[in-house]
A and B are shown apart, each in its own frame.
Chain A
Amino acid sequence: MTDRRRINAPSGGTNAPVFVNPATPADSLASQRPTRTRAPDELRKIFLKTGLVPLASGSAYLELSPPSAPPTKTLTPSRTSLKLTCAVHGPKPLPRSAPFSPHLILSTTVKFAPFATRARRGYIRDSTERDLGVHLETALRGVVIGERWPKSGVEVIVTVIEGEEDGWWGDGLVGGSSGAGGGGWGLMSVLAGTITVASAAIADAGIDCVDLVSGGVAAVVRDVDAKGKGKTEEGLQEGESLVLDPCPAEHKDMVAACVVGYLAGRDEITEIWMKGETGGAADVLLDKAVHAAVASVTVVKEAVKESIEQKYKDVLSSGQGGFRGPNITKEVEMTG
Protein backbone atom coordinates (compact mmCIF):
# COMPACT_ATOMS: atom_id res chain seq x y z
CA MET A 1 0.00 0.00 0.00
CA THR A 2 1.40 3.37 -0.90
CA ASP A 3 1.14 6.33 1.38
CA ARG A 4 -0.79 9.02 -0.47
CA ARG A 5 -1.28 11.47 2.37
CA ARG A 6 2.24 12.66 2.87
CA ILE A 7 5.08 13.86 0.73
CA ASN A 8 7.49 11.03 1.20
CA ALA A 9 11.20 11.12 0.96
CA PRO A 10 12.69 8.96 -1.76
CA SER A 11 12.92 5.33 -0.79
CA GLY A 12 16.43 4.12 -0.23
CA GLY A 13 19.23 5.24 2.03
CA THR A 14 19.27 8.71 3.49
CA ASN A 15 22.69 8.66 5.09
CA ALA A 16 25.41 10.93 3.82
CA PRO A 17 27.03 9.42 0.73
CA VAL A 18 30.11 7.35 1.35
CA PHE A 19 32.74 7.70 -1.35
CA VAL A 20 35.13 4.82 -1.74
CA ASN A 21 38.64 5.89 -2.57
CA PRO A 22 39.22 4.44 -6.02
CA ALA A 23 42.98 4.17 -5.51
CA THR A 24 42.61 1.66 -2.69
CA PRO A 25 39.36 0.03 -3.62
CA ALA A 26 38.18 -2.86 -1.52
CA ASP A 27 41.01 -3.47 0.88
CA SER A 28 40.89 -0.29 2.90
CA LEU A 29 37.15 -0.52 3.22
CA ALA A 30 37.31 -4.13 4.27
CA SER A 31 39.76 -3.19 6.98
CA GLN A 32 37.10 -0.97 8.47
CA ARG A 33 34.80 -3.92 9.02
CA PRO A 34 33.84 -3.97 12.70
CA THR A 35 34.79 -7.01 14.69
CA ARG A 36 33.33 -8.44 17.82
CA THR A 37 35.48 -7.36 20.74
CA ARG A 38 33.44 -8.84 23.56
CA ALA A 39 33.43 -12.47 24.59
CA PRO A 40 31.08 -14.86 22.74
CA ASP A 41 28.86 -15.20 25.80
CA GLU A 42 28.87 -11.51 26.66
CA LEU A 43 25.94 -9.23 25.85
CA ARG A 44 26.12 -5.64 24.78
CA LYS A 45 25.49 -3.21 27.61
CA ILE A 46 21.78 -2.61 28.10
CA PHE A 47 20.34 0.67 29.24
CA LEU A 48 16.74 0.35 30.40
CA LYS A 49 14.58 2.95 32.13
CA THR A 50 10.88 3.04 32.85
CA GLY A 51 8.35 5.82 33.12
CA LEU A 52 9.45 8.08 30.30
CA VAL A 53 6.07 8.74 28.69
CA PRO A 54 4.04 10.77 31.19
CA LEU A 55 0.66 10.19 29.58
CA ALA A 56 1.01 6.43 29.27
CA SER A 57 0.22 4.17 32.21
CA GLY A 58 3.56 2.47 31.71
CA SER A 59 6.55 3.04 29.48
CA ALA A 60 10.16 2.04 29.04
CA TYR A 61 13.21 2.91 26.97
CA LEU A 62 15.89 0.44 25.97
CA GLU A 63 19.23 1.06 24.37
CA LEU A 64 21.89 -1.39 23.31
CA SER A 65 25.02 0.61 22.86
CA PRO A 66 27.90 -0.64 20.75
CA PRO A 67 31.36 -0.62 22.30
CA SER A 68 33.22 2.58 21.63
CA ALA A 69 34.19 2.32 18.00
CA PRO A 70 37.68 3.17 16.78
CA PRO A 71 37.81 6.35 14.69
CA THR A 72 36.83 5.65 11.11
CA LYS A 73 37.35 7.58 7.93
CA THR A 74 33.67 7.80 7.19
CA LEU A 75 30.80 9.50 8.94
CA THR A 76 28.64 6.42 8.74
CA PRO A 77 28.80 4.48 11.98
CA SER A 78 30.09 0.98 11.48
CA ARG A 79 27.71 -0.49 14.01
CA THR A 80 24.18 0.44 14.91
CA SER A 81 22.87 0.74 18.40
CA LEU A 82 19.39 -0.53 19.06
CA LYS A 83 17.08 2.10 20.56
CA LEU A 84 13.51 1.24 21.47
CA THR A 85 10.71 2.97 23.32
CA CYS A 86 7.58 1.26 24.55
CA ALA A 87 4.37 2.83 25.78
CA VAL A 88 1.60 0.85 27.45
CA HIS A 89 -1.87 2.40 27.40
CA GLY A 90 -4.48 0.91 29.64
CA PRO A 91 -6.13 -1.11 30.96
CA LYS A 92 -8.88 1.00 29.50
CA PRO A 93 -12.47 0.33 28.48
CA LEU A 94 -12.97 -1.34 25.14
CA PRO A 95 -14.41 0.65 22.26
CA ARG A 96 -18.17 0.53 21.88
CA SER A 97 -18.05 -1.73 18.87
CA ALA A 98 -15.98 -4.42 20.56
CA PRO A 99 -17.82 -7.49 21.85
CA PHE A 100 -17.91 -8.44 25.52
CA SER A 101 -14.66 -9.97 26.69
CA PRO A 102 -14.21 -11.56 30.11
CA HIS A 103 -10.46 -10.96 29.98
CA LEU A 104 -7.91 -8.40 28.95
CA ILE A 105 -7.49 -7.82 25.24
CA LEU A 106 -3.86 -7.28 24.33
CA SER A 107 -2.92 -5.45 21.17
CA THR A 108 0.67 -4.89 20.18
CA THR A 109 2.14 -2.54 17.64
CA VAL A 110 5.73 -2.43 16.52
CA LYS A 111 6.73 0.47 14.29
CA PHE A 112 10.07 1.49 12.92
CA ALA A 113 10.68 5.20 12.79
CA PRO A 114 11.22 6.31 9.19
CA PHE A 115 14.84 7.02 10.03
CA ALA A 116 15.44 3.88 12.07
CA THR A 117 17.40 1.95 9.46
CA ARG A 118 19.57 2.78 6.48
CA ALA A 119 16.75 1.87 4.14
CA ARG A 120 14.04 4.37 4.88
CA ARG A 121 10.80 3.02 6.34
CA GLY A 122 7.34 4.20 5.44
CA TYR A 123 4.82 5.75 7.77
CA ILE A 124 2.38 2.88 7.36
CA ARG A 125 3.28 -0.40 9.01
CA ASP A 126 4.65 -2.88 6.53
CA SER A 127 4.56 -6.65 6.69
CA THR A 128 7.75 -7.08 8.74
CA GLU A 129 6.51 -4.63 11.34
CA ARG A 130 3.18 -6.42 11.58
CA ASP A 131 5.03 -9.71 11.84
CA LEU A 132 7.14 -8.40 14.72
CA GLY A 133 3.94 -7.22 16.39
CA VAL A 134 2.47 -10.71 16.22
CA HIS A 135 5.67 -12.21 17.63
CA LEU A 136 5.60 -9.71 20.49
CA GLU A 137 1.96 -10.46 21.21
CA THR A 138 2.73 -14.18 21.44
CA ALA A 139 5.56 -13.48 23.85
CA LEU A 140 3.41 -11.28 26.09
CA ARG A 141 0.22 -13.30 25.99
CA GLY A 142 1.80 -16.09 28.01
CA VAL A 143 2.80 -13.68 30.76
CA VAL A 144 -0.15 -11.38 31.33
CA ILE A 145 -2.90 -12.62 33.66
CA GLY A 146 -5.83 -11.49 31.55
CA GLU A 147 -8.62 -12.66 33.86
CA ARG A 148 -7.85 -9.86 36.31
CA TRP A 149 -9.00 -7.18 33.88
CA PRO A 150 -12.36 -8.04 32.34
CA LYS A 151 -13.87 -5.83 29.64
CA SER A 152 -10.69 -3.89 29.09
CA GLY A 153 -7.92 -3.60 26.60
CA VAL A 154 -4.24 -2.79 26.70
CA GLU A 155 -2.20 -1.35 23.88
CA VAL A 156 1.52 -2.02 23.79
CA ILE A 157 3.21 0.27 21.32
CA VAL A 158 6.90 -0.17 20.58
CA THR A 159 8.68 2.39 18.45
CA VAL A 160 12.05 1.49 17.04
CA ILE A 161 14.06 4.69 17.05
CA GLU A 162 17.19 3.02 15.78
CA GLY A 163 17.07 -0.50 14.44
CA GLU A 164 19.66 -3.14 13.91
CA GLU A 165 20.96 -3.55 10.38
CA ASP A 166 20.98 -6.91 8.65
CA GLY A 167 24.68 -6.67 8.00
CA TRP A 168 27.59 -4.32 7.64
CA TRP A 169 26.90 -1.52 5.20
CA GLY A 170 30.26 -2.00 3.55
CA ASP A 171 29.35 -5.47 2.34
CA GLY A 172 27.25 -3.99 -0.41
CA LEU A 173 30.16 -1.92 -1.65
CA VAL A 174 32.92 -4.46 -1.24
CA GLY A 175 30.77 -7.01 -2.96
CA GLY A 176 31.73 -9.75 -0.60
CA SER A 177 29.59 -12.60 0.52
CA SER A 178 25.89 -12.29 0.06
CA GLY A 179 25.28 -14.30 3.19
CA ALA A 180 25.04 -11.45 5.65
CA GLY A 181 23.17 -8.77 3.80
CA GLY A 182 19.41 -8.85 3.54
CA GLY A 183 18.92 -11.94 5.62
CA GLY A 184 16.72 -10.17 8.12
CA TRP A 185 19.16 -10.94 10.95
CA GLY A 186 18.73 -7.51 12.44
CA LEU A 187 15.06 -8.20 13.11
CA MET A 188 16.04 -10.95 15.55
CA SER A 189 17.86 -8.52 17.82
CA VAL A 190 15.03 -6.03 17.43
CA LEU A 191 12.48 -8.63 18.51
CA ALA A 192 14.52 -9.64 21.56
CA GLY A 193 14.84 -5.99 22.58
CA THR A 194 11.14 -5.44 21.92
CA ILE A 195 10.17 -8.26 24.28
CA THR A 196 12.49 -6.95 26.99
CA VAL A 197 11.33 -3.35 26.75
CA ALA A 198 7.64 -4.32 26.63
CA SER A 199 8.09 -6.45 29.73
CA ALA A 200 9.49 -3.52 31.68
CA ALA A 201 6.73 -1.21 30.46
CA ILE A 202 3.99 -3.68 31.41
CA ALA A 203 5.45 -4.07 34.87
CA ASP A 204 5.59 -0.28 35.11
CA ALA A 205 1.91 -0.08 34.12
CA GLY A 206 0.96 -2.43 36.96
CA ILE A 207 -0.66 -5.09 34.80
CA ASP A 208 -0.74 -8.50 36.46
CA CYS A 209 1.93 -10.86 35.12
CA VAL A 210 3.01 -14.33 36.15
CA ASP A 211 6.67 -13.39 35.72
CA LEU A 212 8.97 -10.93 34.04
CA VAL A 213 9.55 -12.02 30.47
CA SER A 214 12.75 -11.14 28.68
CA GLY A 215 14.06 -11.59 25.21
CA GLY A 216 17.34 -13.22 24.30
CA VAL A 217 19.03 -13.89 21.02
CA ALA A 218 21.86 -16.23 20.05
CA ALA A 219 23.38 -17.02 16.69
CA VAL A 220 25.64 -19.43 14.86
CA VAL A 221 28.25 -17.45 13.00
CA ARG A 222 30.98 -18.53 10.61
CA ASP A 223 34.29 -16.78 10.93
CA VAL A 224 36.59 -17.10 7.98
CA ASP A 225 39.78 -16.39 9.88
CA ALA A 226 38.94 -18.64 12.79
CA LYS A 227 39.74 -21.97 11.25
CA GLY A 228 39.56 -24.76 13.75
CA LYS A 229 38.52 -22.39 16.49
CA GLY A 230 34.89 -23.42 16.32
CA LYS A 231 33.34 -26.82 16.77
CA THR A 232 33.39 -26.51 20.51
CA GLU A 233 29.71 -27.37 20.63
CA GLU A 234 27.89 -30.40 19.39
CA GLY A 235 26.52 -30.24 15.87
CA LEU A 236 28.46 -27.25 14.58
CA GLN A 237 30.37 -27.22 11.31
CA GLU A 238 34.03 -26.37 10.90
CA GLY A 239 34.64 -22.69 11.62
CA GLU A 240 31.24 -22.07 13.12
CA SER A 241 30.75 -20.76 16.61
CA LEU A 242 27.92 -19.72 18.89
CA VAL A 243 27.57 -16.16 20.10
CA LEU A 244 25.06 -14.46 22.37
CA ASP A 245 23.49 -11.16 21.34
CA PRO A 246 24.99 -11.03 17.84
CA CYS A 247 25.49 -7.72 16.13
CA PRO A 248 25.03 -8.58 12.44
CA ALA A 249 27.49 -5.94 11.35
CA GLU A 250 30.27 -7.68 13.26
CA HIS A 251 29.85 -11.05 11.63
CA LYS A 252 30.39 -11.64 7.97
CA ASP A 253 28.44 -14.87 7.77
CA MET A 254 25.52 -15.59 10.01
CA VAL A 255 24.34 -19.15 9.68
CA ALA A 256 21.41 -19.30 12.07
CA ALA A 257 19.85 -17.27 14.84
CA CYS A 258 17.23 -17.84 17.50
CA VAL A 259 15.14 -15.47 19.61
CA VAL A 260 13.27 -16.56 22.71
CA GLY A 261 10.88 -14.90 25.09
CA TYR A 262 11.74 -16.57 28.37
CA LEU A 263 10.32 -16.55 31.89
CA ALA A 264 13.33 -17.01 34.13
CA GLY A 265 11.33 -17.61 37.29
CA ARG A 266 9.27 -20.44 35.86
CA ASP A 267 11.64 -21.81 33.21
CA GLU A 268 9.05 -21.31 30.51
CA ILE A 269 9.40 -20.13 26.94
CA THR A 270 6.59 -18.04 25.53
CA GLU A 271 8.05 -17.29 22.12
CA ILE A 272 10.59 -18.88 19.81
CA TRP A 273 11.78 -17.62 16.47
CA MET A 274 14.53 -19.64 14.83
CA LYS A 275 15.96 -18.92 11.45
CA GLY A 276 18.69 -20.22 9.19
CA GLU A 277 20.52 -23.53 8.77
CA THR A 278 20.99 -24.78 12.29
CA GLY A 279 21.98 -28.28 11.31
CA GLY A 280 22.25 -30.36 14.46
CA ALA A 281 22.84 -27.35 16.68
CA ALA A 282 19.22 -26.28 17.14
CA ASP A 283 19.06 -27.37 20.78
CA VAL A 284 22.34 -25.74 21.69
CA LEU A 285 21.30 -22.56 19.91
CA LEU A 286 18.05 -22.49 21.84
CA ASP A 287 19.91 -22.99 25.12
CA LYS A 288 22.21 -20.12 24.30
CA ALA A 289 19.26 -17.84 23.49
CA VAL A 290 17.78 -18.72 26.88
CA HIS A 291 21.12 -17.81 28.49
CA ALA A 292 20.94 -14.42 26.80
CA ALA A 293 17.38 -13.94 28.07
CA VAL A 294 18.43 -14.83 31.61
CA ALA A 295 21.16 -12.22 31.39
CA SER A 296 18.81 -9.51 30.16
CA VAL A 297 16.11 -10.20 32.77
CA THR A 298 18.49 -8.97 35.47
CA VAL A 299 18.43 -5.57 33.79
CA VAL A 300 14.62 -5.63 33.63
CA LYS A 301 14.51 -6.44 37.35
CA GLU A 302 16.77 -3.54 38.21
CA ALA A 303 14.74 -1.14 36.06
CA VAL A 304 11.41 -2.21 37.57
CA LYS A 305 12.87 -1.99 41.06
CA GLU A 306 14.04 1.52 40.30
CA SER A 307 10.59 2.55 39.05
CA ILE A 308 8.96 1.15 42.21
CA GLU A 309 11.34 3.08 44.39
CA GLN A 310 10.57 6.19 42.38
CA LYS A 311 6.82 5.71 42.84
CA TYR A 312 7.01 5.05 46.56
CA LYS A 313 9.65 7.67 47.21
CA ASP A 314 7.45 9.61 49.63
CA VAL A 315 6.67 6.52 51.64
CA LEU A 316 10.33 5.60 51.70
CA SER A 317 11.58 8.98 52.81
CA SER A 318 8.96 9.42 55.53
CA GLY A 319 9.93 6.03 56.90
CA GLN A 320 6.41 4.80 57.53
CA GLY A 321 5.54 1.30 56.50
CA GLY A 322 9.01 0.07 57.29
CA PHE A 323 10.45 0.06 53.78
CA ARG A 324 14.17 -0.32 54.00
CA GLY A 325 14.95 -0.38 50.31
CA PRO A 326 17.97 1.64 49.30
CA ASN A 327 17.23 4.99 47.76
CA ILE A 328 18.83 4.91 44.36
CA THR A 329 19.56 8.42 43.27
CA LYS A 330 22.42 8.11 40.89
CA GLU A 331 22.23 6.44 37.54
CA VAL A 332 23.43 2.87 37.55
CA GLU A 333 25.12 1.49 34.49
CA MET A 334 23.52 -1.85 33.92
CA THR A 335 25.30 -4.71 32.30
CA GLY A 336 23.95 -7.95 31.09
Chain B
Amino acid sequence: MSAPPLLDFALPGQPLGPTSKYTPGPGTHIYESVIHASISGPVVSTHAAPTSTTSAKSSKPLPTLSITRNPPPNPSSFLRGGASVLPEVDSVVLCRITRLGARFASAEILVVGELVCREPFSGMIRREDVRATEKDRVVIREMFRVGDVVRGVVLSLGDQSNYYISTAKNEYGVVMAWAHVEAGEGAGGAAKRAMYPVSWKEVRDPVTGVVEGRKVAKPF
Protein backbone atom coordinates (compact mmCIF):
# COMPACT_ATOMS: atom_id res chain seq x y z
CA MET B 1 0.00 0.00 0.00
CA SER B 2 1.48 3.29 -1.02
CA ALA B 3 1.17 6.51 0.90
CA PRO B 4 -1.39 9.04 -0.34
CA PRO B 5 0.10 11.77 -2.48
CA LEU B 6 1.46 14.71 -0.56
CA LEU B 7 -0.15 18.09 -0.63
CA ASP B 8 1.67 20.99 -2.23
CA PHE B 9 0.78 23.48 0.44
CA ALA B 10 -0.41 22.86 3.93
CA LEU B 11 -2.45 25.09 6.20
CA PRO B 12 -2.24 24.99 10.00
CA GLY B 13 -4.13 22.00 11.33
CA GLN B 14 -4.20 20.12 8.06
CA PRO B 15 -3.45 16.38 8.41
CA LEU B 16 -0.36 15.35 6.42
CA GLY B 17 0.14 11.66 7.04
CA PRO B 18 0.19 8.94 9.68
CA THR B 19 3.13 8.58 12.03
CA SER B 20 3.51 4.99 10.87
CA LYS B 21 4.63 6.24 7.46
CA TYR B 22 6.42 9.50 8.24
CA THR B 23 8.38 11.14 11.01
CA PRO B 24 7.51 14.70 12.00
CA GLY B 25 9.88 17.51 11.09
CA PRO B 26 9.92 21.26 11.67
CA GLY B 27 6.60 23.02 11.29
CA THR B 28 4.50 19.99 12.15
CA HIS B 29 2.95 18.42 15.23
CA ILE B 30 1.36 15.10 16.07
CA TYR B 31 -2.31 14.87 17.04
CA GLU B 32 -4.02 11.50 17.43
CA SER B 33 -0.99 9.78 15.83
CA VAL B 34 -1.37 11.78 12.63
CA ILE B 35 1.15 14.41 11.62
CA HIS B 36 -0.56 17.77 11.24
CA ALA B 37 0.81 21.00 9.85
CA SER B 38 1.50 23.78 12.35
CA ILE B 39 2.28 26.55 9.92
CA SER B 40 1.29 27.30 6.38
CA GLY B 41 3.77 26.59 3.63
CA PRO B 42 4.96 24.02 1.14
CA VAL B 43 5.24 20.45 2.39
CA VAL B 44 8.68 18.90 1.99
CA SER B 45 9.38 15.21 2.44
CA THR B 46 13.02 14.29 2.95
CA HIS B 47 14.48 10.83 3.26
CA ALA B 48 16.94 10.27 6.05
CA ALA B 49 20.47 9.41 4.97
CA PRO B 50 20.68 5.63 4.45
CA THR B 51 24.10 5.52 6.14
CA SER B 52 22.58 6.30 9.55
CA THR B 53 22.92 3.62 12.20
CA THR B 54 19.20 3.55 12.85
CA SER B 55 18.60 1.89 9.50
CA ALA B 56 19.95 -1.34 10.95
CA LYS B 57 16.84 -2.08 12.98
CA SER B 58 14.22 -0.88 10.53
CA SER B 59 14.42 -2.00 6.93
CA LYS B 60 13.86 1.51 5.55
CA PRO B 61 13.98 4.84 7.40
CA LEU B 62 10.75 6.78 7.35
CA PRO B 63 10.74 10.00 5.34
CA THR B 64 10.55 13.21 7.40
CA LEU B 65 7.69 15.59 6.72
CA SER B 66 8.42 19.24 7.32
CA ILE B 67 7.05 22.59 6.26
CA THR B 68 9.26 25.32 4.91
CA ARG B 69 9.05 28.19 7.33
CA ASN B 70 10.67 31.09 5.56
CA PRO B 71 9.94 31.77 1.92
CA PRO B 72 12.81 32.44 -0.48
CA PRO B 73 13.78 36.12 -0.51
CA ASN B 74 11.76 38.14 -2.95
CA PRO B 75 10.84 41.84 -3.04
CA SER B 76 7.80 41.37 -0.86
CA SER B 77 9.76 39.60 1.85
CA PHE B 78 12.43 42.29 1.86
CA LEU B 79 9.70 44.71 2.76
CA ARG B 80 8.98 42.59 5.78
CA GLY B 81 12.53 43.15 7.02
CA GLY B 82 13.92 39.76 7.95
CA ALA B 83 12.71 36.35 8.91
CA SER B 84 11.01 35.24 12.10
CA VAL B 85 13.71 33.03 13.56
CA LEU B 86 14.89 32.35 17.09
CA PRO B 87 18.42 31.44 18.20
CA GLU B 88 18.53 27.86 19.39
CA VAL B 89 21.15 25.88 21.23
CA ASP B 90 23.99 24.97 18.82
CA SER B 91 22.96 27.46 16.15
CA VAL B 92 25.80 29.49 14.65
CA VAL B 93 25.16 33.20 14.99
CA LEU B 94 26.73 36.45 13.88
CA CYS B 95 26.61 39.16 16.50
CA ARG B 96 27.91 42.66 17.10
CA ILE B 97 29.65 43.53 20.35
CA THR B 98 27.76 46.27 22.17
CA ARG B 99 29.43 46.51 25.57
CA LEU B 100 32.51 45.21 27.34
CA GLY B 101 32.54 44.20 30.96
CA ALA B 102 35.15 42.72 33.23
CA ARG B 103 33.60 39.24 33.11
CA PHE B 104 31.65 39.25 29.86
CA ALA B 105 31.05 41.01 26.58
CA SER B 106 27.52 41.94 25.60
CA ALA B 107 26.47 41.42 22.01
CA GLU B 108 23.41 41.68 19.81
CA ILE B 109 22.65 38.66 17.65
CA LEU B 110 21.95 39.79 14.11
CA VAL B 111 22.05 36.62 12.03
CA VAL B 112 21.02 33.09 13.03
CA GLY B 113 22.33 30.46 10.65
CA GLU B 114 21.61 31.87 7.20
CA LEU B 115 18.67 34.03 8.24
CA VAL B 116 18.73 37.68 9.19
CA CYS B 117 16.71 38.35 12.33
CA ARG B 118 13.87 40.81 12.22
CA GLU B 119 15.22 42.45 15.33
CA PRO B 120 18.41 41.78 17.29
CA PHE B 121 18.49 39.41 20.24
CA SER B 122 20.72 40.33 23.14
CA GLY B 123 23.49 37.87 23.87
CA MET B 124 26.44 37.57 26.17
CA ILE B 125 29.92 36.07 25.77
CA ARG B 126 31.20 35.19 29.23
CA ARG B 127 34.92 35.30 29.93
CA GLU B 128 35.20 31.53 30.31
CA ASP B 129 33.47 30.98 26.96
CA VAL B 130 35.84 33.11 24.88
CA ARG B 131 38.41 30.42 24.13
CA ALA B 132 39.00 26.77 24.95
CA THR B 133 42.47 27.05 26.49
CA GLU B 134 43.89 29.24 29.25
CA LYS B 135 40.36 30.23 30.18
CA ASP B 136 41.35 31.91 33.42
CA ARG B 137 43.85 34.26 31.79
CA VAL B 138 41.35 35.75 29.36
CA VAL B 139 41.05 39.52 29.46
CA ILE B 140 37.87 40.62 27.72
CA ARG B 141 39.29 43.94 26.55
CA GLU B 142 42.05 42.12 24.64
CA MET B 143 39.58 39.78 22.97
CA PHE B 144 36.83 42.06 21.65
CA ARG B 145 36.13 45.71 21.04
CA VAL B 146 32.76 47.39 20.80
CA GLY B 147 31.51 47.19 17.21
CA ASP B 148 33.31 43.98 16.27
CA VAL B 149 31.31 41.40 14.36
CA VAL B 150 31.74 38.01 15.97
CA ARG B 151 30.79 34.52 14.83
CA GLY B 152 29.83 32.24 17.69
CA VAL B 153 27.64 29.37 18.72
CA VAL B 154 24.71 29.57 21.11
CA LEU B 155 25.49 27.68 24.31
CA SER B 156 22.14 28.04 26.02
CA LEU B 157 19.05 30.17 26.05
CA GLY B 158 20.62 31.86 29.04
CA ASP B 159 18.85 33.97 31.61
CA GLN B 160 15.85 36.24 31.26
CA SER B 161 17.47 38.64 28.83
CA ASN B 162 20.66 37.19 27.33
CA TYR B 163 21.50 34.22 25.16
CA TYR B 164 24.88 32.75 26.10
CA ILE B 165 27.29 32.61 23.18
CA SER B 166 30.61 30.77 23.01
CA THR B 167 33.59 31.45 20.76
CA ALA B 168 35.67 28.58 22.16
CA LYS B 169 36.61 27.03 18.82
CA ASN B 170 39.04 27.93 16.08
CA GLU B 171 36.39 28.88 13.58
CA TYR B 172 34.56 31.18 16.03
CA GLY B 173 35.64 34.65 17.06
CA VAL B 174 35.98 38.10 15.54
CA VAL B 175 35.33 38.11 11.80
CA MET B 176 35.27 41.86 11.27
CA ALA B 177 37.20 44.41 13.32
CA TRP B 178 37.71 48.09 12.79
CA ALA B 179 40.48 50.42 13.85
CA HIS B 180 39.47 53.50 15.75
CA VAL B 181 40.39 56.46 13.56
CA GLU B 182 40.98 59.68 15.42
CA ALA B 183 38.79 62.58 14.39
CA GLY B 184 40.67 64.73 11.87
CA GLU B 185 43.28 62.11 11.14
CA GLY B 186 41.67 60.50 8.14
CA ALA B 187 40.51 63.67 6.43
CA GLY B 188 37.44 62.88 4.40
CA GLY B 189 38.08 59.17 4.79
CA ALA B 190 35.86 56.61 6.38
CA ALA B 191 35.30 56.95 10.09
CA LYS B 192 36.59 53.43 10.67
CA ARG B 193 39.07 51.19 8.87
CA ALA B 194 38.73 47.44 8.63
CA MET B 195 41.67 45.53 10.13
CA TYR B 196 43.00 42.22 8.94
CA PRO B 197 43.98 39.24 11.06
CA VAL B 198 47.64 38.39 11.46
CA SER B 199 47.34 35.57 13.98
CA TRP B 200 44.69 33.80 16.03
CA LYS B 201 44.85 36.59 18.57
CA GLU B 202 45.92 39.71 16.72
CA VAL B 203 44.59 42.03 14.02
CA ARG B 204 46.54 44.76 12.25
CA ASP B 205 45.55 48.16 10.93
CA PRO B 206 46.55 48.32 7.23
CA VAL B 207 47.48 52.04 7.39
CA THR B 208 49.18 52.64 10.71
CA GLY B 209 50.36 49.08 11.28
CA VAL B 210 49.05 49.12 14.81
CA VAL B 211 48.40 45.63 16.15
CA GLU B 212 45.42 45.05 18.43
CA GLY B 213 44.44 41.94 20.34
CA ARG B 214 41.32 40.01 19.25
CA LYS B 215 40.02 36.47 19.48
CA VAL B 216 40.14 36.00 15.72
CA ALA B 217 37.98 33.49 13.89
CA LYS B 218 39.88 31.15 11.61
CA PRO B 219 39.28 32.26 8.01
CA PHE B 220 37.65 29.66 5.78
Contacts and interface: CB of A to CB of B under 8 A. Distances in A.
Interface in B69-105: 69-72, 74, 76-77, 79-81, 84, 86
A145 B74 contact: no
A314 B74 contact: yes
Interface residues of B, number: 37
A208 B30 CA distance: 13
Contact of A210 (B13, B27, B70, B84): B13
Size category of the binding interface on chain A: 35 or more
Contacts of B74: 311, 313-314
B115 interface: no
B177 to A, nearest CB: 26
A265 B13 CA distance: 6
A251 to B, nearest CB: 34
Contacts of A263: 13
A203 B40 CA distance: 7
Contacts, number: 117
Given A100-B160, A145-B38, A211 B118 contact: no
Among A92, A94, A322, the most chain B Cβ lie within 10 Å of the Cβ of A92
Contacts of A307: 40
A211 B29 CA distance: 10
Contacts of A169: none
Interface stretch (B4-12, B132-140, B199-207): B4-12
A119 to B, nearest CB: 37
B119 A92 contact: yes
Contacts of A150: 86, 157
A208 B39 contact: yes
Contacts of A314: 72, 74
Given A207-B84, A210-B13, 4 more contacts: A94-B161, A149-B86, A212-B12, A305-B40
Interface of B: 8-9, 11-15, 27, 29, 31, 36, 38-42, 69-72, 74, 76-77, 79-81, 84, 86, 118-122, 157, 159-161
The 10 closest A-B pairs by CB, nearest first: A211-B13, A208-B38, A265-B13, A311-B71, A209-B12, A100-B160, A54-B79, A323-B8, A96-B161, A93-B121
